[in-house]
Amino acid sequence: MPFIDLSSPQQPNSNPTQPPAGQMPNLPPSTAASMPVQPVQQPNQPGLNNTSTTNNLLSAAPEILTELPKETVFQFNDTPAPSMQPGEIPQAETQNLGMGELNLAKPLDSNVNKTEAPVETAQSSSTSPFSSTSPVVPQVPTIKNEVPEQLKPIEAPANLNQMSDNTESTNVTVPSPQPEIKESLPSLNQGGIELTGSAAKQTETVEEIFKKADELVESKQAVPTPSPQIDSLKPADASENYYAQKAKMDDFLAYAEEKNASDLHISTGYPPMLRVDGKLISIGNQIMQLERVRELFESILTPEQQEALKADLDIDFSHSIQSGTRFRVNIYHKKEQLAGAFRLIPSRIRTIAELGLPDVIYDFAKLPHGLVLVTGPTGHGKSTTLASIIQEININEAKHIITIEDPIEYVFPRAKSLVDQREVGTDVKSFSRALRAALREDPDVVLVGEMRDFETIASAITVAETGHLVFSTLHTNSAAQSIDRMIDVFPDAQQAQIRAQLANVISAVVAQRLVPVQRGGRKAVLEIMIANAAIKNAIREGKTYQIDNMIQTSAELGMITLEKSLVKLIRSGDLTVEAAQNYTAKPDELLSLLKSN
């Protein structure tokens, strides 16, 4: 950085030699007015005194000096300077202005009123005695090394660190960083400013320096935004391992929704897991401890549900998060520890067309009465398919629909139909009791979430026999297995009667699988059985083994086997042959269909 020459023309009758180091040269008033350190006024100026000079210096001094030429000298000095006594003046010493260094040499004026009040300035340990020939050189007062009010630490909002609803909020002090001025201000050379010994040019240079300094100080004194505290966890600002440590239960569920997962599993001794496209994926690698799992589950359980969990050792219920998405929840014990499964229920009910189901499914929504079953393994879209059929009735027909679920999954919006949804355990004690009561509630359509025991199966068959349309689900793999399962739950003495009743009321059975496709996601493959006269007779006579052949030979009625559904996906490029063989119990028949067609 070039040398700053602040020398001005020498005064008459003054020593033509360079003033000693430590003395400050005099500058013209026009130049001094723009300088951060004001010189002493000339003797011919009225009203001159040391006190006013000091006040001028204080008012003109900037709050914070920034990068100045290298020849300037400033030093940090936190030690308070002793007060000046009358008749004394310090030698030109370095002064504490916060940062930077400044040394302004100036000739001293010989005519200074010695009776003025003493000037209190910052000085070093060495001073020179005051005399008539020694001018008063006002010094810039020491600026105390204090943090301005706007740069003092601020306190974060109380809810910033509120880790959960039951945790008291605490204030976090966010320190305001001190500006690193030397790294921020450009140098004079970078600004294209050439420093010379000319006072006029020096004034322009100093004005430019302080202008830049003021701008930088204003920007640095802005209140900083507190660093985000991981409080209400979001996947964008926290690692996956954090979920196992401090995330709330709704954070896990929101993460599952974001990842388009069908299920979330939280189990003691394992990391949290998501089921995405049928595959389990861990959320991080942190093992969930029992106390952590209990804390998560208790945050969404009511006191009554907590008592029920202790008494029954497992519990089913539904839970909604802030976005409105619902989850079907089952919390259970395992080896005296806790685990839970959370099934995501989309907030919007997809239509039959959106699900890619065959057109024959529309016919099931138009049946006046009968029993329609949707079967398949857990997690393969049975509830979604049933919801699309019920929504088709709700939109197009003015009927009374009663749903009996444990817990309620899809919530049907208000449309043409009257939809009453009852939850087992909350609105009714059991499926069988709800079905018996439904006969006195004037229903047109009854949805039974699941037929778990022979009492529920018997009640559902009875409701269908009385002229109502009943939909329900079973955990079976094919249409023929579904018929056998319903009959086999009854005692031997009642099975003949149940065969006859079931043959009269059965309308259709849909066996469903969800298979992952090549471009991502899953699609439903179906086996559809429509109860014609031949199938009803086979059920009545106990010849359910003939049902598979009847489905193969009745494609004109809308029936289809699971293997034909898989072949369609293979030929469309959505599924490979190897993957398709994992979803059928008849791989030889699958390969035969591929070769024949």
- Residue 6 and residue 104 in contact, taking contact as beta carbons nearer than 8 Å: yes
Taking each continuous run of H as one helix and of E as one strand, the counts in the chain are 18, 17
Q: Distance (Å, rounded) from C-alpha 179 to C-alpha 175?
A: 12
3-state SS string for 221-263: CCCCCCCCCCCCCCHHHCCHHHHHCCCCHHHHHHHHHHCCCCE
Element at 20 (helix H, strand E): none
For residue 518, the model assigns a pLDDT of: 86
Residues paired with residue 421 on neighbouring β-strands, in sequence order: 403
Output the CA–CA distances (angstroms, integers) from residue 4 to 69, 112, 414, in the order listed: 7, 28, 83
Domain assignments of the chain as residue spans, ordered by start: 1-149+195-225, 236-345, 360-560
| Neighbour count for residue 125 (Cβ, 10 Å) | 7
For residue 422, the model assigns a pLDDT of: 96
For residue 407, the model assigns a pLDDT of: 87
For residue 500, the model assigns a pLDDT of: 95
Residues paired with residue 282 on neighbouring β-strands, in sequence order: 273
Mean pLDDT by 10 residues, the chain (597 residues): 47 46 49 47 45 48 47 46 48 43 42 43 41 45 47 41 41 46 43 50 64 64 41 43 74 93 95 92 90 95 94 92 91 96 92 94 96 93 95 96 93 95 92 93 95 91 95 94 94 94 96 90 94 96 94 93 93 90 90 84
Q: Domain 360-560 belongs to what architecture? A: 3-Layer(aba) Sandwich (3.40)
Q: Are strands 314-320 and 326-334 parallel, antiparallel or unpaired?
A: antiparallel
Q: Distance (Å, rounded) from C-alpha 1 to C-alpha 188?
A: 7
547, 539, 472: which is closest to 503 by C-alpha?
A: 539
Handedness of CA 194, 197, 202, 206 (dihedral sign): positive
Identical fold, 236-345 and 360-560: no
Give the angle 262-264-270 at the CA atoms, nearest 5°. 145
Which residues lie closer than 8 Å to 589 by C-beta, 6 or more apart? 561, 563
Q: What is the DSSP letter of 558?
A: T
Helices (H), 423-491: 431-438, 454-465, 479-488
Give the angle 516-520-524 at the CA atoms, nearest 5°. 40
Residues paired with residue 513 on neighbouring β-strands, in sequence order: 525
Helices (H), 267-406: 290-298, 303-312, 360-364, 382-396
Q: Distance (Å, rounded) from C-alpha 63 to C-alpha 148?
A: 9
Q: Domain 236-345 belongs to what architecture? A: 2-Layer Sandwich (3.30)
Q: Whole-model pTM above 0.75?
A: no
**Rounded CA Rg of the chain:** 44
Which residues lie closer than 8 Å to 359 by C-beta, 6 or more apart? 558
Query: 148-170 burial string, b = 16+ CB within 10 Å, else e?
Result: eeebeebebeeebbbbeeeeeee
- Residue 438 and residue 424 in contact, taking contact as beta carbons nearer than 8 Å: no
Q: Distance (Å, rounded) from C-alpha 135 to C-alpha 23?
A: 10
In single-letter form, the type of residue at position 56 comes to N
- Residue 375 and residue 510 in contact, taking contact as beta carbons nearer than 8 Å: yes
Q: Distance (Å, rounded) from C-alpha 33 to C-alpha 42?
A: 13
| Neighbour count for residue 71 (Cβ, 10 Å) | 17
Q: Are strands 445-448 and 400-405 parallel, antiparallel or unpaired?
A: parallel
For residue 284, the model assigns a pLDDT of: 84
- Termini Cα distance of the chain: 87
